Amino acid sequence: MANSVSELKLSATDQRDAYLKGLVQIVRAAVPGNLGLGEVRSRAASFLNEQTFPSTRQEDWRFTDLSPMLAIDFATAEEALVAETDIAELRLAETAGAQIVVVNGRVSTELSRLENLPEGAKVGSLRAHPELHTQLVDRLAQASGSHEVFTALNTAGFQDAVVIWLPRNLTIETPIQIIYVSQTGENPCIVQPRCLVVAESGSAVTLIEDFWGSSAETHFTNAVTELWLDANAQVTHSRIQREGAGTFHIGKTVVTQARDSQYVGTAVDFGARLARHNWEIYQTGEQTTTKLYGLAAIAASQQADTHSLVALSHPHGTVEQEHKAIVDGRAHSVFNGRMAVAQKAQSTSARQLNRNLLLSDKARVDTKPQLEIVADNVKCAHGATVSQLQADEIFYLQSRGISAPQAQRLLIYGFAMEILETIEAETLRSRLAETITQWT
């Protein structure tokens, strides 16, 4: 069995399909048993056999060029030893006793702390809950959007998964924090974190996902998080990506909402060489509420790409989405937000706004908000703005005795805090705000 792309002797630059098939072989070879998911994995692998590695010729990847990855021989990540001192600063006071640590795609039982959870909640590694395997067949990789190259790659070869399963009417008061750590070695590696959240009817939880890596070494994080909200369930979700400067980060968050459920999500991108987040929401019942907030703050030659889809198929759905980007240096921000309102989704209210702040003449923004409306009784609006810091605003602050650099930092801080304030955990919110304060 090959365990690196180079062993397959590929000419990856002009053979994207062969490169993808090489990745499939690599991740499949590293699976430690099928965890009772052999059929699910086989379907994903079969789908991938008919696909090719994405290129800018595809509409969904038009502004995001993955060709630098084709020259890299990724191998599967080995198990790594992470000390408590390596992650101590990442732990949040609000999540004490409800923390899951994932190292190179595997749940670390030694570093995780799960003593502050109510009876009935099933939280931890998939391997620790074999009684859920039968139920998982109905949930894992069954959401709409599973037939996408990188999502299927994760399904075919993830080595472990975080499972959060809440029974009916259970509310977890303590936020659950998942810390994803990528510990890379000398050779480029691929890490595939997986998370499945099932909130049964009437349950509620706050979830914080923190993707972290301080290393500048090259690696590829391919993450998938699936959230199932049954009737009247409530999930508040924060997704923080601050990986190292050599990281290619591609993530999928897919949310399936039943009637009367509420999902509030905030995604923040600070790190990685190239970060792509695919955010997909499927409202499958009446009177569902979805609120999406996003912030990307990038500089140098970073790229941050957010592609979102909200599919409304039932009456009385509500959607609010606001995404902001702060772009400096030669960085490149991409936003493609699509809201699809089906004919049955009458009395829908949907609002989408993308705002971008350019701090450099060489920074670049590509934005494409989309409304696809078939229903005729809706209230929908969308918009996008791209601007620079206004000289009159800086002058006004200077007239109050504030220096020009301080004025610029204040304006950037105010621009970002509208999004960061949607994060409930005060410790995390303060840390991210401090990052923005020191950012320029």
Q: Are strands 162-166 and 122-125 parallel, antiparallel or unpaired?
A: antiparallel
Contact 304, 268 (CB under 8 A): no
Predicted confidence at residue 34, as pLDDT, reads: 62
Predicted confidence at residue 409, as pLDDT, reads: 86
Burial code of 56-66, b = ≥16 C-beta within 10 A, e = fewer? Answer: eeeeebebbeb
- What digits encode the pLDDT tens for the residues 190-244? 999 999 999 999 999 999 999 998 777 899 999 999 999 999 999 999 999 999 9
Regions of the chain with pLDDT less than 50: 1-2, 6-13
> What does 195-262 look like in DSSP terms, one character per residue?
EEEEE-TT-EEEEEEEEE----S-EEEEEEEEEEE-TT-EEEEEEEEE--TTEEEEEEEEEEE-TT-E
Q: What is the pTM of this model?
A: 0.93
Predicted confidence at residue 440, as pLDDT, reads: 62
- Name every residue whose Cβ is closer than 8 Å to that of residue 205 and which is 6 or more positions away in sequence: 164, 166, 171, 172, 175, 176, 197, 199, 234, 235, 236
Q: What is the DSSP letter of 83?
A: -
| Domain ranges for the chain | 5-285, 389-440
Predicted confidence at residue 2, as pLDDT, reads: 46
Phi, psi of 83 (to 5 degrees): -90, 160
Predicted confidence at residue 186, as pLDDT, reads: 76
Return the closest-CA partner of residue 370 out of 397, 328, 341: 341
Q: What is the average pLDDT score of the chain?
A: 91
CA atoms within 13 A on the CB side of 333: 31
Predicted confidence at residue 407, as pLDDT, reads: 85
Contact 308, 280 (CB under 8 A): yes
Predicted confidence at residue 279, as pLDDT, reads: 97
